[in-house]
Amino acid sequence: MLNVAYNEVKYRFIASSHLDGSIVNLVTGVDIPEGAVVSINSAGLAILATASTIPVGVARFARKAGTMLAVDESCIIENKGTSLALTPGTAVFASAAGAVAGSGTNKVGVALTANKVKISI
């Protein structure tokens, strides 16, 4: 690993987009279901994303509060509940409780089908 000194703070290179560095492990602040869009709160804990938080990725597995969660920034998720009625090829945004919607402010990906989304954060 290469250490870089900048203003007396040392940084270590972890990964680039060409390496398997798109998965981050975070401690959960709340129960998080599989496939939920995740943000980080001011305490550094993983929480369910909302329209007003900055998304960091998608939960790979369901986890209880206080446990480790793998968050993937580039993946495909599929809604198994009520249809999202997304238009393929259109932008998808973070919405309430870790879900996605066809409109919003924080883009998380693009719709592949009415219920399938390619996440790219």
30-87 tens-digit pLDDT: 999 988 999 999 999 999 999 999 999 999 889 999 999 999 888 888 887 778 899 9
Domain that holds residue 63: 22-120
Q: What is the pTM of this model?
A: 0.81
Q: What is the pLDDT of residue 11?
A: 53
Number of domains in the chain: 1
Q: What is the pLDDT of residue 15?
A: 44
Q: Is residue 86 part of a domain?
A: yes
Q: Is residue 49 part of a domain?
A: yes
Q: Is residue 7 part of a domain?
A: no
Alpha-carbon distance of 48 to 118, in angstroms, equals 18
Cα angle vertex 13, ends 23, 29, to 5°? 40
Q: Is residue 10 part of a domain?
A: no
Confidence category of residue 10, pLDDT binned at 50, 70, 90: low
List C-alpha distances in Å: 36 to 13, 31, 39, 75, 116. 28, 10, 10, 12, 13
CATH number of the domain within which 97 lies:
2.40.300
